[in-house]
Structure 1
Amino acid sequence: MQNCDTSSRKLRIAVLGLRGFPGVQGGIERHCQELYPRLAELGCDITLFARKSYVPQPHPYTYKNVKIIPLWAPRMKNLEAICHTAIGIFRLSKHPNDYDILHIHGIGPSLLAYPASHMNFRLVITHHGPDYKRLKWGAFAKTMLRRGERLGAKHAYLIIAVSKHIKTLLLDKYDSYAAYIPNGVTIPKAIPPGPVLSNFGLSPGRYFLAVGRLVPEKGFHDLLNAYERSNTDWKLVIVGDADHEDYYSKRLKKGAKNVDGVVMTGFQTGEALAELYSNAGLFVLPSYHEGLPIAGLEAMGCNLPILLSDIPSNKELAFREETFSVGDIEALSQRLSAFSGNPPLFNSPHILAEKRKRLETEFNWDIIAKKTVDLYRAVVKMPHRMGTDSLRRLQRGITAELDLYGSAAEQKNEKD
């Protein structure tokens, strides 16, 4: 393995498409907060353009050797991502020789893949999931997201897929060869019952835990209805909040107040979140859409039994007996009742060993970072403005090599 240093200088990476970090809610944000400091440790020079209203301060700052530059963006769910990306690309156009790679996260910002791909740097896109399947978007927004996915597949030098399902989707729809580099997990430190459980009136091992933003595609409305129908004396804890308070989030919070045993904690992070994971009885994720759920990975890292909806990305994490049919409220209610009444041996020694192996190899952030560096180094060697056939041939070769490296690195880490 090589790091990001070249013979003369560091590899320079600009990053767009996320709200920012540290401590910002969202799967892409969690992904980037774990990935980019590791890339900086490997010798990359990282500059990340954040959205000013989300990050701790309005002026440029450094977080774990990552330079973060806050830029203005309208705080409107339909406009902020694309406006922020446009502003970021315009700023980059003023300094076309300052970066080797522009790394865009998400298919919404990928609407601007064409102009981004025609600058001096190479364009890499991480596809975090088909966002046009999110329930919160209307018809026009979904059309734009599909277009962003298509433009990203056409103009990116290389695409990273965070799940195998996404990798297959890109090949089937666009004949685009993506590199499978998944989300990872930093295994939360086990924390005994303490002030967080006390403040929320929770008993260790006797509550269901759900973690995520309060948006329709997370399916928390289904979970609330299923819990209300269930025959259980466990509590239901929903951790998270809405980025943009809307009708759905207000209705969900109002509904939760009318159901005995439901605890809405708001957004939690750090040791508070770790304490909630460490002492839960069952982690539940009833989502309709995911890229690859970091919350599910964190629950696995805590040896917590999981119950996930059977969408393709969730099925990449869970055994069959750990899933239920998405949207089936009655089935979910029955599973909650059965589990709290007589918790099954989801976490048998065999299942625990298999999950631990995957967490230490496939979902290991250090391996993920090294694989990303290899991808960057391959991309900077690609010629500018290739024809489609030449681009696809190079993509196919690079992704095949990365897949082989990933398997070898995982096997080495397992032996170590």
Structure 2
Amino acid sequence: MKLSVIGLRGFPLIEGGVEKHSESLYPKLDENIDITVYRRKVYVSTYSTYDHISFIDLPSTKMKGVEPFIHSFFASLHALFKRPDVVHYHNIGPALFSPIMKLKRIPVVLTYHSPNYEHKKWGWFARRILLLGEKIALKTADKIIFVNSYQMAKYNENIKKKSVFVPNGINNLPESLNTNYLNKLGVEKGKYILSVGRITQEKGFDTLIKAFKLAKIDGIKLVIVGGVEFEDEYMKQLQELSRLENVIFTGYIYGDNLYQLYTYAGIYVLASYNEGFPLVLLEAMKYGLDILVSDIPATHLVSLDKEAYFECANYEMLASKLVERSKNFKKKTYDLSKYNWYEIARAMSGIFYEVVGTKK
């Protein structure tokens, strides 16, 4: 089977939830599936080889609101003439161009990661385009994969009939024995709060910083891991908000530097206003961290005790919980058996074979 993949920036080591999802999933698909991944050339700096995966790097731009549409349009045209057995689109924006595949009766699978039009970073026009993309993508797709079961439940029976919930997974992440990166940042084992995510408004880092300032926990620092692309003004707001406080922005990091921060953190906080299925939350659970999360549907996709939740955007409530948890940071054990990437890849392989089989 020949599978073409459209809608991500690429992998390996490219920041983003969809990118991390794809880097974990595709190498584990059935070895008889020949995969072509369309990457956005401006993001590709690391080159790796994978069995049964090839890459096509097309020119792209980093212009906010334009980048995914331009790249996905050209990738869709390229895939049309390549004529794969099935095309897998990631998210509703790129899938705006999925009807192109129907010109040659190529089946389409859509993975719906999140309703992007709810994100604060998009303006009015971009939201209208994303809503149009959602309408077209849901109608065109032969099969829809939802990583969030609450999102799937919103749609009518015609959509649900061709939909399936497949959660994100978690890899076997190593605990680090090193502390050199911690030393570089000036943080001590067990004496910092950690949060990981791209610096965008929907991640709620402003709520987290306000809560941290209000909590005033002696000897504890806040470490925020994530890169900045389009949100320069938001980043400036965060830096101003955290001025003279023990807040550290690391930028985008990976490998042992990231493993060190997960291994030795006192507590992990996810303050997002909107998420699909947050991979970083699974990562924090894999490391057995004490966790606090905003009370949104996506954070209820995993099993956490009720005390782990705080009202979304309520920094005073979060501050109170940080003070309480800081009295006794402790490791926990979570059941992550449902989030095995190998099982997920087996299920996804079956979906691709099913869609192709019904079209032959």
TM, length-normalised to structure 1: 0.82
Over residues 57-103 of structure 1, what are the superposed CA-to-partner deviations in whole Å (9 max), with x where a residue is unaligned?
A: 6xx9734542111101121121110100000011122223xx11100
Q: State the distance in 2 between where 1:328 and 1:66 align.
A: 44
Secondary structure of the corresponding residue to residue 42 of structure 2: coil
Contact 1:170–1:178 at 8 Å: present in 2 too?
A: no
Give, as a single letter, the amino acid of the residue that structure 2 aligns with 1:373. Answer: S
Q: Does 1:305 align with 2:290?
A: yes
Contact 1:232–1:341 at 8 Å: present in 2 too?
A: no
Contact 1:216–1:248 at 8 Å: present in 2 too?
A: yes
Partner residue of 1:43?
32
Q: State the distance in 1 between where 2:102 and 2:123 align.
A: 28
Partner residue of 1:31?
21
Over residues 368-402 of structure 1, what are the superposed CA-to-partner deviations in whole Å (9 max), with x where a residue is unaligned?
A: 00000110111002238xxxxxxxxxxxxxxxxxx
Over residues 46-66 of structure 1, what are the superposed CA-to-partner deviations in whole Å (9 max), with x where a residue is unaligned?
A: 100000000126xx9734542
Per-residue deviation, 1:259: 3.6
Partner residue of 2:88?
103
Q: State the distance in 2 between where 1:177 and 1:189 align.
A: 37
Q: State the distance in 1 between where 2:289 and 2:102 align.
A: 43
Percent identity between the two aligned chains: 35
How do 1:15-414 residues align onto structure 2 when only pairs under 5 Å count? 15-39=5-29, 42-56=31-45, 62-96=49-83, 99-171=84-156, 174-175=159-160, 177-233=162-218, 234-256=220-242, 258-317=243-302, 318-343=304-329, 347=332, 352=333, 355-356=334-335, 359-360=336-337, 362-383=338-359
Residues 367, 174 of structure 1: CA spacing in aligned structure 2 closer, same or farther, 3 A cutoff? closer
Q: State the distance in 2 between where 1:132 and 1:259 align.
A: 35
Q: State the distance in 1 between where 2:103 and 2:212 align.
A: 52
- 5+ long unaligned stretches in structure 2: none
Contact 1:193–1:204 at 8 Å: present in 2 too?
A: no
Contact 2:18–2:90 at 8 Å: present in 1 too?
A: yes
Q: State the distance in 1 between where 2:64 and 2:161 align.
A: 29
Residues 276, 346 of structure 1: CA spacing in aligned structure 2 closer, same or farther, 3 A cutoff? closer
Q: State the distance in 1 between where 2:244 and 2:126 align.
A: 34
Structure 1 stretches of 4+ moved >6 Å:
none
Q: State the distance in 2 between where 1:172 and 1:142 align.
A: 25
Give, as a single letter, the amino acid of the residue that structure 1 aligns with 2:45. Answer: P
Give, as a single letter, the amino acid of the residue that structure 2 aligns with 1:191. Answer: S
Residues 44, 226 of structure 1: CA spacing in aligned structure 2 closer, same or farther, 3 A cutoff? same
Give, as a single letter, the amino acid of the residue that structure 2 aligns with 1:38. Answer: K
